[in-house]
Amino acid sequence: MPTKTIIEPFRIKSVEPIRWTTRREREQLLEAAHYNLFLLPADDVLIDLLTDSGTGAMSTHQWAAVMEGDESYAGSRSFDRFKNSVQEIFGYKHVIPTHQGRAAERILFGVTCKKGEVVPNNTHFDTTRANVEFVGAEAVDLVIEEGHHPSLQHPFKGNMDVAALESLIARVGRERIPLVMLTVTNNSGGGQPVSMENVRAVSAVCKRHGIPLYFDACRFAENAWFIKLREKGYENKTPKEIAQEMFRYGDGCTMSAKKDGMANIGGFLCTNDDMLAQQEKDLLILTEGYPTYGGLAGRDLEAIAVGVQEALEEDYLRYRIASTAYLGNHIASHGVPIVQPPGGHAIYLDARAFLPHIPPDQFPGVALAAELYLEGGIRSVEIGTLMFAHGAQMDLVRLAIPRRVYTQSHIDYVVEVILEVWKNRERIPGLRLTYEAPFLRHFTAHLEPMNVGAATRS
């Protein structure tokens, strides 16, 4: 690691203005949005840390590639470039483009999975869980014990509990498990990486039982970087070599190109299974598009072809992981409870520890996210009781860092806002639900403060 400040490894060629609002305006905007930050107009947000999904800045190389997009319906040159670039890293035989990650999930589970079956994962992401449950199967999370304790330090907190996987297979039977999934990095579990040793162990269990192993690969490049930093034997390998080795232990993957694809839209589904690929392409044609574009424009395929390669560049990954840790370490050094150690793409505030006076059924994560907006115009997202209706294990607030978008002074401002909210935390009220949809309710839910007087203080 260099000893000088780790700087943004880019300079800025095009700027996008952002806009301040007053506290009074934000109080009105929040009420109009029913205390759900998904329902806010983005123009009324100063620093948007809602998600790192599709919110990154593309490079000059990506914008140049966009102009090379071949918009032919079938057999487009852009598809070949996309497929070759993806295959060089992921190594799977079939690459099926989709409009984003959840479309890949829906097709994978729609084809492989049915009612009464069970899908193990280290931790299912919200859309992954919803797609498993939509076909009537059960989504089981098997992250290691350390993964359930936010303040505990562990280099690979995203690992799957291999013994728990073995006993699940013994209990429900191999025939009821169509596939095992590993999410790298483990998003809902705090952006925590999975070690190569764990991938190897899970792969060995799957092979022994003849169960396919799929990766939820959305943040594969960040996971590779953590393996390089933290796992013995990988310090001299490139992130690409590490990613290539990891994918060799599996049979396929789902991917959102809006994350480590460094694009604003897109995704893909990979498999080595010829028969499965045929069924997946049939379903793709029905709902996404022809298999050489899968719901994307040729220019999107070009941006992804360049983006997956850029995500593995060492200068980029060093800056990416260092800037996320910078935010986490700053607030943690003032006592703010966060998921330790800082993850790859985001810092997770532990809302139950931050707001011990608010019980989980009054949504401490949503309450904290609302207060960060009121205090400084920052948008974050709850990952907890609102998102996972049935028995969330933690209530977290995720501050996701868009790729190559904000500078260190933006992050310094975020630190100041969080510390101000931390100082006044006893005054933050819990919330109650006034409307919910039957699934993925956090996107559209309406809430109101338990104690309206406390919430509208100025």
Of 101 and 402, CB closest to ligand PLP: 101
Residue appearing with tokens 């989709």: 98
Q: Residue 322 CB, nearest distance to ligand PLP (Å)? A: 21
- The footprint of ligand PLP on this chain (CB under 6 A) covers a number of residues equal to 15
Nearest-CA neighbor of 251 among 197, 213, 286?
Answer: 213
Nearer to ligand PLP, 267 or 365 (CB): 267
Residue 175: DSSP 8-state: G
Tell whether the torsion through CA atoms of 141, 146, 150 and 155 is positive or negative. Answer: negative
> Using CB under 6 A, which residues numbered 53 to 112 contact ligand PLP?
53, 100-102
Give the distance from CA 337 to its chain's centroid. 21
- Enumerate the β-bridge partners of residue 121: 141, 181
Judged by CB under 6 A, the residue of 40, 95, 118, 218 near ligand PLP is 218
Minimum distance between the CB of residue 98 and ligand PLP, rounded to whole angstroms? 9
Residues 348/397, Cβ–Cβ less than 8 Å = yes
Contact 358, 379 (CB under 8 A): no
Sign of the Cα torsion 216, 220, 226, 231 reads positive
Near ligand PLP by CB under 6 A, which window of 120-128, 226-234, 349-357, 406-414? 120-128
CA distance 247 to 216: 11
Dihedral angle over CA of 298, 301, 303, 306, nearest 10: -130
266, 300 contact by CB (below 8 A):
yes
Which one of 90, 92, 109, 125 is in contact with ligand PLP (CB under 6 A)? 125
User: Coil, helix or strand for 266?
Assistant: coil
Q: Is residue 127 near ligand PLP by the rule CB under 6 A?
A: yes
Candidate residues 55, 59, 78, 128; the one interacting with ligand PLP per rule CB under 6 A: 128
Which residue sits closest to ligand PLP, CB atoms considered?
A: 101
Q: Is 123 in the site for ligand PLP (CB under 6 A)?
A: no
Residues 246-285 that bind ligand PLP (CB under 6 A): 256, 258-259, 267
Least Å distance, CB 316 to ligand PLP, is 18
CB of 416 to ligand PLP, least distance (A): 28
Binding site for ligand PLP (CB under 6 A): 53, 100-102, 125, 127-128, 183, 187, 216, 218, 256, 258-259, 267
